[in-house]
Structures are given as structure tokens and as C-alpha cells.
Homo-oligomer: A and B are copies of this chain.
Amino acid sequence: MTTILDGKETTATVMDELTAEVEQLAAKGVTPGLALVLTGDDENSARYVRLKKKRAEKIGLYCEFHHLEKTTNKELVGLIEKLNKDPKIHGIMIQLPLAEGLDELKAVEAIAPEKDVDGQTPVTLGKILMGEECYLPGGVLAIMELFKRYDIDPNKKHWVIVGSSNFLSKPLAAYVMNLSSNVTQVDENCPHIAKRIKDADVISTEILKKHFVKPDMIKEGAIILDNGNVYEGKYVFGDVDPEVYEKTAAYTPVPGGTGPMLIAMLLKNTVKAASK
């Protein structure tokens, strides 16, 4: 029996729940506010941020989109500091990567930890490693949300996490270190990926190579969390070959797995920040 971890359906449920929560907050006179910051002129990034704004507004959030096409570190940090002080804003998210020449660490460091609703600051990443309460990055929260909704215990498992981004694989590994589980983190360019994942109960991939993971590479009954998104024209493919699916206990499809949940998780953290 294989369970499909349906990110689209779960997102719809979460969005309904959030709509109700936002209504309750409105009754208390609180409107959750989210500020989205984009640098540079990449059209795909701009489209994605506009989608975030649209979704936020759909569930009743107040949302500002600050698009700095040409900017400096000083101006960017200045904007973040202004947003930190703005009582209308409960959450701040900086779209990464930044435009060329800008200092990513300086920018994310400027976000006040209590408004860090996408888990981008060093403080938040450190708290994840320590096992302390904080806002998890969207990709990490999406995985934990799916485990919860599909009643899968993330404990007592051997996790293998392939990837090394600051927004998914490394914080996910740090989070799992605080569960009663083992975790192996493997660089996406490591020559021994196959050997490592053969041993895993849970496999999270962020390899960005179309259908890289084949059926003979995994253990029967493993859980697959496919975070690869390889675009070919208007199609998108995961790191995991769909032929793997029938060998798994549960898997996130691509498209329709963790991807659609990212925006909902950002909004969930923003509503939580506004509730405090």
C-alpha cells in the first residue's frame, strides 16, 4: 500500500483553516501583515512573488510587495529595518537568491527574528539546530505538515537528506537531529548518493536532476520526499523516477507534492506571528 502525500489537497485544507483563523483574528481587530521583498529583474521570481501576494490576500492578509529592481545593500537593509518596526507587518520574507552584488547574509540577518516567517535568519537556523521553538522554513514545515496530516511518525527512522541548501536540506537535517531519529546529510554532488539512500527509511531529495533516483536505489517501503523541480518547457520533473513510487510506503509526487505547500506554509507562519 502506497500513500500519495498530496500537497495540493493538503494546501487546500490548510488554506481553509487559515481563512477561518484570519477571520477570528479580524474579529479581534488584527490583520496579519506580510512583507515580500524582491531584488533584481528576474521575471520568474517576480511572477512567483506576485503569486504569494495573491494567495496571501485571498485569505485576508495584508501584503506589501517591495520590488527593488536596482538596489544597494544599504537600501535593502534599510527597508528591512523599516519593516521590522512597522506594526502592520508581522512577517518578512526576502526572495532569494538576491540580485548580483548584494550580500545575502547581511540582508537576512537584518530581519527581526520574531518576523522571520520563512526561517531565513541565522538565529532561526540556530534555534532549529538547538531544538528550540521557531518559524521553520517553508520546505521543512511542508514536510512536517504532510507527516502530521497523513499520520506518519517522523521518529525512530533513518533519514537520508540529499542536498545542501540553507532553506531546505540543511535546516531539515538540523530539525531531524532533534527528533528520535538518525539523519544522514549527503551533498547533491556526492558520488555515493545511491549507497546512502539504499539504507534510508525516509529520503528527502534536492538534487535537481530529472528522475535521478531509480527503483533499485531505495529500500522497499521507504518514504520519499521529492524536492527536485526540473523544468522542461511548461513541464516539471522531480528527482525521483515515478517507477520508484510503487516500492515506497509514501511519496510526494512532482508536481503536486511539497511544491504547492510552500506558499501556504509561509502564510501559516505569518498568521501564527500575528496571533502572538
Contact = CB atoms under 8 A, between A and B. Distances in A.
Given A122-B132, A129-B174, A192 B182 contact: yes
Contact of A126 (B123, B173, B186, B187): B123
A250 interface: no
B170 A174 contact: yes
Interface residues of A, number: 32
B192 A187 contact: no
Number of copies of this protein chain within its complex: 2
Given A121-B126, A125-B129, A190 B182 contact: yes
Which residue, A124, A173, A174, has most C-beta atoms of chain B within 10 A? A174
A275 interface: no
B130 A105 contact: yes
Interface in A154-181: 158, 164, 166, 170-171, 173-174, 177-178, 180-181
B182 A183 contact: no
B122 A170 contact: no
A219 interface: no
A185 B183 contact: yes
A140 to B, nearest CB: 12
Given A122-B126, A124-B126, A130-B166, A173 B182 contact: no
A187 to B, nearest CB: 6
B187 A185 contact: no
A113 to B, nearest CB: 8
A182 B195 CA distance: 12
Nearest to A180: B187
A184 interface: yes
Residue among A122, A166, A173, A196 facing the most chain B CB atoms (10 A cut-off): A122
Nearest to A109: B123
Nearest to A161: B177
Nearest to A125: B126
A124 B180 CA distance: 24
Interface of A: 105, 121-130, 132, 158, 164, 166, 170-171, 173-174, 177-178, 180-187, 190, 192, 196
